[in-house]
Structure 1
Amino acid sequence: MLHINRCVTPWRRSSLGAACLALLTMAAPSSAALILYDGFDYTVGERIVTQTNVAASQPWLDPTSPTPPAAASDTSVIVAGNLGFPGLQAATGNSLALPRLPNGNYARINLPGAPYNATKNDGSLFASFTLKMTNWVTLVSGAENDANRMGAFIAGFHLGTGTGGMSTATAFAGQIRIRRELDGSNVQTGNYQLGIVKHNAGLTPATTAWDLSQSYAVGDELLLVMEYQHLTGTTTDDQVRLWINPTPGAPAGTPSVTAQIGPADVANINSFWFRGDQLSPGDLQIDELRVGPTFADVTPALVPEPATFALAVLGAVAALGASRRR
């Protein structure tokens, strides 16, 4: 049996102790300050709406407006399997289908500890989830029109709570958007792009912020991280940022795209939502939702398996022991 306390015995406190402590730090889970985690560990085939996140004691709910679909026709359901991302903490449970349908259903969950505003966590709130497009629907015409260039809004924060309506454009607090990539001749490439806005009041293609440096294909498994940062300088200076495929466990770095500052700020954040949308280029699969006060909280690195960790420690002990004998 490996006795980790040997790492800190007096005669090994220097190089060997440092190596062991470094390995322990790498293997130990971070002191998570997560506000919400959902691995969609619900029964396959059931609607996400009415499921309850046990850890948060919060149900997923339908807003009363826009009018939700009848339960029998709601296809935002739990599906088997997980979405992974290199280096991210291992997924649990199942995942969520977000189909491309007219008037796709919202599913919203209240955030424990809400409201979140400029007085909490230095004003910042982060969310992350994994995403995959499972199929592609080619438009016969209209791919270049304004509605399709602004894209579908699929996830974000919100001012409202519970079953309260979601028809007020300025109540959204960050919207992650998805659209078709077009080439220079406005021909669909079969890939999609991702972007972000503060909310959708007065939205135009010119005011939607897109990451134009990269596009993604059906089957790609992505990690998305968004931040809404409340600032107090003016009533329009809040920042909304999106990172696409950041490195789990690493500092945030430069966002992939930042929303325009101009639109009015949202005073409080109380909930998080997902939505299927007919303007999406295809059906989506969602997994591993995290909401937290920092970037690090929502991008936890994969923790080594105990056996792997033990081998790493033994290797370090052997290597350092050999070097001391030389």
Structure 2
Amino acid sequence: MKKVIYPLLVLGLTSSVSANLFTYDGFDEPVSPNAPTNWLPDAGDGASSLHGEVVSGSLSYTGLQDSVGNSFGLANRTADYNYDVPDVTLAVGETVYFSFLLQSNVADTSWNGNFRLFNDPDIFGNAISVGWGSANADDTNMGFSLNNRNRNYTHADSIQTGENYSQTGTHLVVASFTLGSGNTNGELSLWINPSSATFGTSTPPTADVTIASYQAQDTYTSFEIVSNGSGSFPSDWQMDEFRVATDWADVVPATVPEPSVYALMVGLLSMLVVARRRLSAAK
């Protein structure tokens, strides 16, 4: 009798870190009045301007891999926070992404700032710079924009997404840069709340905003959070699930089923194998 072999693949019971994921911070550390580990304020920021802290609870977004631990709480003060990213070096045609979850806790028309990934020695060079802030006078909406230069707040190429987003929701922010062969033929892209149907896949959806590069910068080493103003403290807003990667699947990983789901899958497959064997023996 011909023997039939049924391989049982137990997916996800072991895990490995993708070589395309350069940075991940889920802020899985104890609640603290200080900024999370590895997030450093600018050297010139005085104690009165500091506002970063580890706050209780994580943020979530439907379809995105579950977060653990706590989150990064910030306020509308002037301290900027920097994270040293392991060097990401691109070849022509390759892409670097960053992503994070953002949630505002109060409505405030004075909010504004940006998040930017750049090459630290070239502080005025090409960067993926995402601006954000209040979008109307009644404190209900926020807006986002994309800029292709670092530390150039009035650069003419900054463009907005064209849509307002609730100040009280949790938003998934994803931005990218693809290196071109010349200074201005690379491309930057921005997605706000991309479809969960694309999470964990190899192909990103159409971006909300795209913009040409400022220069052909092939290396990225630093991420900075810039918050402008002199508003309240403690945490007016939070960020969580910060990632830097060179593919879409790693920057927006899909939800991983619970172990009980895998156990059910294994159980069902085992039952199918037993049934098949009994059917074969009865012939």
TM-score class, shorter-chain normalisation, is: 0.7 to 0.9
Residue-by-residue CA offset, 1:130-158 (whole Å, 9 max, x unaligned): 1111111246xxxxxxxxxxx83321202
| Equivalence for 1:76 | 52
Shift of residue 28, structure 1, vs aligned partner: 6.4
Pairing 1:190-201 to 2, within 5 Å after superposition: 190-199=140-149
Whole-angstrom CA distance in 2 between matches of 1:319 and 1:256: 46
Q: Hey, which of these two has a bigger chunk of strand by percent?
A: 2
Shift of residue 321, structure 1, vs aligned partner: 7.7
Q: Which amino acid aligns with 1:237?
A: N
Shift of residue 320, structure 1, vs aligned partner: 8.7
Whole-angstrom CA distance in 2 between matches of 1:77 and 1:195: 26
Residue pair 2:147, 2:155 contacting (<8 A) in 1 also: no
Q: What's the secondary structure of 1:263's corresponding residue? A: coil
Shift of residue 264, structure 1, vs aligned partner: 3.6
Q: Which amino acid aligns with 1:177?
A: G
- Asked if 1:47 corresponds to 2:7, the answer is no
| Equivalence for 2:159 | 209
Distance 1:269 1:74, change over 3 A: same
| Equivalence for 2:67 | 91
- Asked if 1:285 corresponds to 2:238, the answer is yes
Give the alignment's TM-score, normalised by structure 2.
0.80
Q: Percent identity?
A: 26
Distance 1:60 1:10, change over 3 A: farther
Pairing 1:266-285 to 2, within 5 Å after superposition: 266-278=217-229, 283-285=236-238
Q: Which amino acid aligns with 2:262?
A: F
Whole-angstrom CA distance in 2 between matches of 1:37 and 1:255: 22
1:263 to 214, 230, 249: 214
Distance 1:279 1:322, change over 3 A: farther
Query: Structure 2: which 5+ runs fail to align?
Result: none
Query: Structure 1: which 5+ runs fail to align?
Result: 1-8, 53-58, 140-150
- Asked if 1:244 corresponds to 2:192, the answer is yes
Whole-angstrom CA distance in 1 between matches of 2:84 and 2:190: 21
RMSD of the TM alignment (CA)? Answer: 3.3
Residue pair 2:133, 2:143 contacting (<8 A) in 1 also: yes
2:255 to 302, 317, 322: 302
Count of equivalent residues: 269
Q: Hey, which of these two has a bigger chunk of helix by percent?
A: 1
